[in-house]
């Protein structure tokens, strides 16, 4: 294959950028036709200079807002000193990251990874190992219960227990060991548990499914069942965690603690891929050197960025603001009272507008909002997700609500 530099290395217009992306890129996404080049706070700008209010926050990755100056400063300072050592050696940022994250979340142990899917895979492996070595489940018989309409990532193991045809089709064969039960149904969970069940993996709120909130008491009942049957409760808080729902972790709404809690996305404020598995000591202590790891997991740059991201999240009142502004946003959306809207639901600044099936699908409304300077994304055909950064103000929400009113 000939090596050559692109004859047009500096496209200028939206159309030119899109043409290059479609020519050379894999077609595994269907983004809105806006090409972004800069972000600050709750706003982003495209290559034509138009400003947009970001109502997606990269699926919670930028809870702290785009390019937060304190996180940026921490990243620049650490990048100038030391970026990666691998876990073959120790570094001076990882112990501090461990200590601060455990103190904040009341965790006993932390295992750092990079992506959310890696954190999920880690939890699956650790819970199986715990099942064999602590619960004494027969070899290769471990079962993990998951929920219908789940979204936990894109690896082969994860899509193997997805119920979304687009995620599964033509990727098999898939590995065994998973049972699917309806989300929010504690009775179905109890019925699915057997002596070989080692874990229950669940999202506190199903984000990709359309911000689906389970019935009150569901997570508390799941916690009780897992405790009674010696099953590891794994909460995937990669989208819901770190302030998005108006609490540090969504599990706090029902006053429970998981055995394994998975966080990512906002753990770096959007600057760098960082995820972590938070665990109690009993489950995490089954791992020994050489049994699991990651070259980049726990690197000093990631740890320094994550430490700064956690500080600004807590010290600048973003979690409290999410709770307050979330209520304001839902009230404003309900006040629109559009006939094509079926339901407004959400918790904190994780909000959905579900449209009636005859409304023509949510995509066209996202496109209309984009033209009016508001960026959000459809999911499951008829639902718009609205998830602005946790620093959003009432005035900025009023700006967004005016455009939602015009479009809906």
Question: What is the H or E stretch that residue 70 is in?
Answer: helix 69-79
Sign, CA torsion 392/395/398/403: negative
Q: Is the peptide bond before 173 cis (omega within 30 degrees of 0)?
A: yes
- Any idea what the Cα angle at residue 325 is, between residues 204 and 370, rounded to 5°? 90
Catalytic residue chosen out of the listed positions 129, 221, 247, 265: 265
How many whole angstroms separate alpha carbon 75 and alpha carbon 87? 20
Tokens standing for residue 94:
């990882």
Q: State phi, psi for 350 to the nearest 5 degrees.
A: -120, 95
How many whole angstroms separate alpha carbon 314 and alpha carbon 206? 24
Contacting residues for 240 by C-beta, under 8 A, at least 6 apart: 60, 203, 204, 205, 207, 249, 250, 350
Told to judge if 174 belongs to the known catalytic residues of this protein, a careful annotator would answer no
Q: How far is CA 230 from the centre of its chain?
A: 27
How many whole angstroms separate alpha carbon 180 and alpha carbon 198? 14
Told to judge if 151 belongs to the known catalytic residues of this protein, a careful annotator would answer yes
Neighbours of 14 (CB within 10 A): 15
Catalytic residue chosen out of the listed positions 17, 54, 129, 151: 151
Told to judge if 265 belongs to the known catalytic residues of this protein, a careful annotator would answer yes
Contact 210, 380 (CB under 8 A): yes
Catalytic residue chosen out of the listed positions 236, 330, 370, 404: 236
How far the first Cα of the chain sits from its last, in Å, is 51
CA distances from 75 to 65, 271, 306 (A): 15, 8, 9
CA distances from 32 to 55, 369, 376 (A): 13, 11, 9
Tokens standing for residue 186:
């504690």
How many whole angstroms separate alpha carbon 408 and alpha carbon 333? 10
Which residue numbers are catalytic?
151, 236, 265
């Amino acid at each position: 294959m000939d090596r050559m530099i692109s004859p047009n290395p500096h496209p200028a217009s939206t159309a030119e950028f899109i043409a290059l992306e479609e020519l050379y890129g894999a077609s595994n996404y269907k983004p809105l036709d806006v090409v972004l080049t800069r972000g600050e706070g709750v706003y982003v700008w495209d290559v034509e200079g138009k400003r947009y209010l970001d109502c997606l926050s990269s699926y919670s990755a930028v809870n702290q807002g785009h390019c937060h100056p304190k996180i940026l400063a921490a990243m620049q300072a650490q990048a100038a000193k030391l970026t990666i050592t691998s876990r073959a050696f120790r570094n001076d940022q990882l112990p501090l990251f461990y200590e601060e994250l455990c103190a904040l979340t009341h965790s006993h142990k932390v295992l750092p990874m990079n992506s959310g899917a890696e954190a999920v895979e880690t939890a699956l492996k650790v819970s199986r190992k715990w099942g064999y070595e602590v619960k004494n489940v027969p070899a290769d018989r471990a079962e993990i219960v998951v929920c219908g309409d789940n979204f936990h990532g894109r690896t082969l193991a994860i899509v193997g227990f997805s119920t979304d045809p687009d995620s599964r089709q033509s990727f098999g064969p898939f590995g065994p060991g998973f049972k699917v039960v309806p989300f929010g149904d504690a009775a179905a969970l109890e019925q699915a548990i057997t002596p070989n069940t080692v874990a229950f993996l669940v999202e506190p709120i199903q984000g990709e499914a359309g911000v689906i909130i389970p019935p009150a008491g569901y997570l508390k009942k799941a916690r009780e069942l897992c405790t009674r049957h010696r099953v590891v409760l794994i909460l995937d808080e990669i989208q819901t965690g770190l302030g998005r729902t108006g609490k540090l972790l969504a599990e706090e709404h029902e006053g429970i603690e998981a055995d394994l809690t998975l966080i990512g996305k906002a753990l770096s404020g959007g600057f760098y891929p960082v995820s972590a598995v938070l665990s109690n000591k009993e489950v995490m202590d089954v791992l020994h050197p050489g049994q699991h790891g990651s070259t980049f997991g726990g690197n000093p740059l990631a740890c320094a960025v994550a430490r700064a991201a956690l500080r600004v999240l807590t010290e600048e009142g973003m979690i409290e603001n999410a709770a307050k502004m979330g209520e304001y946003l839902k009230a404003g959306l309900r006040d629109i009272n559009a006939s094509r809207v079926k339901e407004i639901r959400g918790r904190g600044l994780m909000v959905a507008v579900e449209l009636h099936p005859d409304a023509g699908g949510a995509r066209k409304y996202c496109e209309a909002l984009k033209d009016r300077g508001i960026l959000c994304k459809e999911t499951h055909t008829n639902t718009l997700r609205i998830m602005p950064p946790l620093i959003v103000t009432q005035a900025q929400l009023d700006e967004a609500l005016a455009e939602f009113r015009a479009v809906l």
